């Protein structure tokens, strides 16, 4: 029997079902790497079943606290199918307005190192840990058996490949096996809140689209009617489309990626041609490839009615939170100084270490330095297909506020 013994005093969080065991909590290893292990407390009582991999930066992922459980191929398949079935309300949406959503959210769904999103007839699996890489075949087969997509695209998350000893990889899976596309694959079209989006299989940042902001994009609409809008870190334009549908006067979309901005304009064209947004919407949109921090310093003051700040993850680990906090403060301080009196800022953090409480403090610092008052109008979190597992606070990663700036 493969066993791991936890150091005395290091078991409390694990007994409360936190799934990560770091090397500093391990007293003794009697196990082969890349295998199921029985995890014991210092007094040799059963704690949980886990997966041990000495090459992972998290050497043990806990999987089940039921000693009677058998962690075999059937367990992995059952667990991923249960995750999908917990999203049945998304599959049962009779309106047809949305067919893009998350079906597996890693540790929040009692799995590890895997997220999976539905985009119409395509499913995208993102792997961020060795444990998920070792079980990718099981995951793909279980998902295909249940949902029958046209294709499953599996990619490794480049944020974690180095620390996990994985290669940046893109795989294509269909009919129970991997295949190499014969030439360029057709783009996939899907819907979110009745908008039409396009994504190229296997391309784009991470999943190619961010379902977690679904509800927040809709909530920003009511502030955009007749507004001059700046969409900072716009990516492929989901916030921009909502602003246009609301009747924005103009939108300036900023991003560091030229391909993303070109896709943004294509998404505007697609939705204008489909009568999802007003017919003159394309004329209202200007794009600029830039660094958001530099651009906020030079944009015209007292010009924008609404500024949306949705930057990429600025803190990938706890040691980076202090540096990230300074960056979030700088970004919001600049936006507060530049926006009109009474203007609206929708500001977000997807850095797990920068939670709602810390972001609120950061906004208070930024307001003080900008000599403005701010009112919090709405508090924002991830959509319901990204549930927060209370025993795993790291799953509560996306937060934001809609604020009014008073000068």
Residue 208 has a pLDDT of: 65
pLDDT of 255-301, one tens digit each? 999 999 999 999 999 999 999 999 999 999 999 999 999 999 999 99
- The token duo for 361 is 């403090």
CATH code for the structural domain at 3-64: 2.30.130.10
**What is the pTM assigned to this prediction?**
0.93
Determine the average pLDDT of the residues in 340-362.
95
Residue 77 has a pLDDT of: 96
Q: How far apart are CA 61 and CA 75, in angstroms?
A: 15
What do you get for the CA distance between the two ends of the chain, in Å?
67
Residue 204 has a pLDDT of: 57
Residue 206 has a pLDDT of: 52
Domain(s) labelled CATH 3.40.50.150 in the chain stretch across 211-406
Domain(s) labelled CATH 3.30.750.80 in the chain stretch across 74-188
pLDDT of 74-83, one tens digit each? 999 999 999 9
Please give the mean pLDDT across all residues of the chain: 95
Residue 178 has a pLDDT of: 97
What is the assigned CATH class of domain 211-406?
A: alpha beta
Determine the average pLDDT of the residues in 127-139.
97
Residue 1 has a pLDDT of: 82
Domain(s) labelled CATH 2.30.130.10 in the chain stretch across 3-64
Burial 246-279 (b: 16+ CB within 10 A, else e): bebebbbbbbebeebbebbbebbebbbeeebbbe
Determine the average pLDDT of the residues in 387-407.
96
For residue 205, pLDDT beyond 60? no
- As a whole-number percent, the residues of the chain with pLDDT over 90 amount to 89
Q: How far apart are CA 243 and CA 221, in angstroms?
A: 6
CATH code for the structural domain at 74-188: 3.30.750.80
Burial class of residue 136 (count of CB atoms within 10 Å of its CB; 0-12, 13-18, 19+): buried
Higher pLDDT, 70 or 320: 70
């Amino acid at each position: 029997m493969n066993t791991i013994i936890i150091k005395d005093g290091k078991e409390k969080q694990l007994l409360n079902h936190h799934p990560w065991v770091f090397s500093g909590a391990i007293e003794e290893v009697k196990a082969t790497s890349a295998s199921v292990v029985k995890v014991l407390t210092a007094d040799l009582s059963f704690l949980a079943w886990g997966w041990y991999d000495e090459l992972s930066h998290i050497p043990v992922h806990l999987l089940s606290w039921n000693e009677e459980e058998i962690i075999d191929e059937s367990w992995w398949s059952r667990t991923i199918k249960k995750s999908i079935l917990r999203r049945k309300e998304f599959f049962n949406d009779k309106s047809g307005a949305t067919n893009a959503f998350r079906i597996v959210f890693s540790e929040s769904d009692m799995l590890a190192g895997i997220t999976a999103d539905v985009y119409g007839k395509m499913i995208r699996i993102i792997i961020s840990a060795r444990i998920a890489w070792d079980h990718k075949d099981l995951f793909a087969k279980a998902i295909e058996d249940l949902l029958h997509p046209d294709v499953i695209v599996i990619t490794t998350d480049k944020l974690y490949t180095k620390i996990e000893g994985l290669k940046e990889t893109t795989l294509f899976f269909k009919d129970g096996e991997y295949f190499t596309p014969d030439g360029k694959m057709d783009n996939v079209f899907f819907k979110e809140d009745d908008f039409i989006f396009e994504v190229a299989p296997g391309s784009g940042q991470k999943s190619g689209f961010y379902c977690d902001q679904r509800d927040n994009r809709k909530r920003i609409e009511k502030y955009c009617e007749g507004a001059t809008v700046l969409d900072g870190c716009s990516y492929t334009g989901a916030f921009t489309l909502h602003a246009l549908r609301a009747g924005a006067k103009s939108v300036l979309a900023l991003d560091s990626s030229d391909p993303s901005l070109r896709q943004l304009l294509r998404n505007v064209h697609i939705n204008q041609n489909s009568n999802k947004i007003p017919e003159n919407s394309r004329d209202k949109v200007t794009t600029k490839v830039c660094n958001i921090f530099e651009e906020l310093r030079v944009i015209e003051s007292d010009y924008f009615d609404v500024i949306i700040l949705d930057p990429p993850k600025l803190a990938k680990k706890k040691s980076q939170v202090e540096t990230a906090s300074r960056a979030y403060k700088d970004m919001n301080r600049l936006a507060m100084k530049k926006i009109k009196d009474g203007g609206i800022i929708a500001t977000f953090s997807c850095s797990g270490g920068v939670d709602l409480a810390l972001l609120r403090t950061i906004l208070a610092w930024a307001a003080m330095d900008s000599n403005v008052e701010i009112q919090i109008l709405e508090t924002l979190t991830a959509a319901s297909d990204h549930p927060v597992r209370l025993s795993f606070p790291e799953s509560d990663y996306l937060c934001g506020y809609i604020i009014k700036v008073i000068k």
